[in-house]
Amino acid sequence: MTIRVLLADDQALLRATFRILIDSCEDMAVVGEASDGTEALELTRAHDPDIVLMDIRMPGTDGLAATSAICADPELAATRVLILTTFETEDYVAQALRAGASGFLGKDVTADTLLAGLRTVASGEALLSPAATRTLITNFLMTPAPGTHLAPPQSLSELTDREREVMGLAAEGKSNTEIAEILVLSPLTVRTHIHRAMTKLGARDRAQLVVIAYQTGLAQATPPAP
């Protein structure tokens, strides 16, 4: 199955570079290019890509606003957003996740890391480095932005004990393989528990599942080590 990617960046040279890189892969194809957030939303609706590779700072409608609009549109529920930006600050990471993004990478990543990131997000996994996740959760997710509604703790009542256990470990930034080793399960079983929890809680991907884990108190943030 080919992963269909839409590029959203105001720099034409970067878009051309990304297109060459992505189109060189047999399992990926670029279906469109946008130079600002408004165009990104329009082209997403027109092409229905699997992933939008989204820059944050663009003229007019920025990437965060476009991400929020894409993720809030029920007709685009299958489209995921991977943020790729030079401005890799904790605040941008928090805003991107709240907007519904499935991943976040800095523009200093290698070509292999970017391609692996696209495949990771396409598979439904969240894409955040452990360090970025810890700092993000500690500084921002536990203090939601004004107007953000927390998921009530009782929303976890539909989960089984094992699903809550797996969800808590995922919130610590552990991969399916690491969770499987801790709980003596197969990675496939862990993946099944993750997807069942996502379905029951209405999370579109693993990133939102992690956010819910902290919002409901299932997972607790701890200050980063000095």
pTM of the entire predicted model: 0.69
The more confident residue out of 84 and 6 is 6
What's the rounded mean pLDDT across residues 176-181? 88
Assign domain 3-127 to a CATH class. Answer: alpha beta
Q: Assign a CATH topology to domain 145-215.
A: Arc Repressor Mutant, subunit A (1.10.10)
pLDDT over 90 at 9, yes or no: yes
Q: What is the mean pLDDT of the chain?
A: 83
The more confident residue out of 156 and 85 is 156
**Helix or strand holding residue 198 (H, E):** helix 187-201
CA distance 201 to 157: 10
Looking at the chain, which residues constitute the CATH 3.40.50.2300 domain(s)?
3-127
Q: What pLDDT, on the 0 to 100 scale, is given for residue 87? A: 59
User: DSSP states of 131-175 as a string?
Assistant: HHHHHHIIIIITSPPTTPPPPPGGGGGGS-HHHHHHHHHHHTT--
Q: What is the pLDDT of residues 110-164, one digit of tens each?
A: 899 899 889 988 887 766 655 555 555 555 555 555 555 555 566 788 899 999 9
Q: What pLDDT, on the 0 to 100 scale, is given for residue 128? A: 62
Looking at the chain, which residues constitute the CATH 1.10.10.10 domain(s)?
145-215
Percent pLDDT > 70 in the chain is 81
- Which of helix, strand or coil describes residue 82? strand
pLDDT over 70 at 68, yes or no: yes
Instruction: Produce one character per residue of 151-162: b if its CB has 16 or more CB atoms within 10 Å, e if not.
Output: beeebbeebeee
CA distance 84 to 9: 9
pLDDT over 60 at 224, yes or no: no
CA distance 34 to 156: 39
The more confident residue out of 187 and 48 is 48
User: DSSP states of 25-61 as a string?
Assistant: STTEEEEEEESSHHHHHHHHHHH--SEEEE-S--SSS
List for the chain the helix, strand, coil content (%; round to 5).
Answer: 55, 10, 35
The more confident residue out of 124 and 69 is 69
DSSP class of residue 103? E
pLDDT over 60 at 13, yes or no: yes
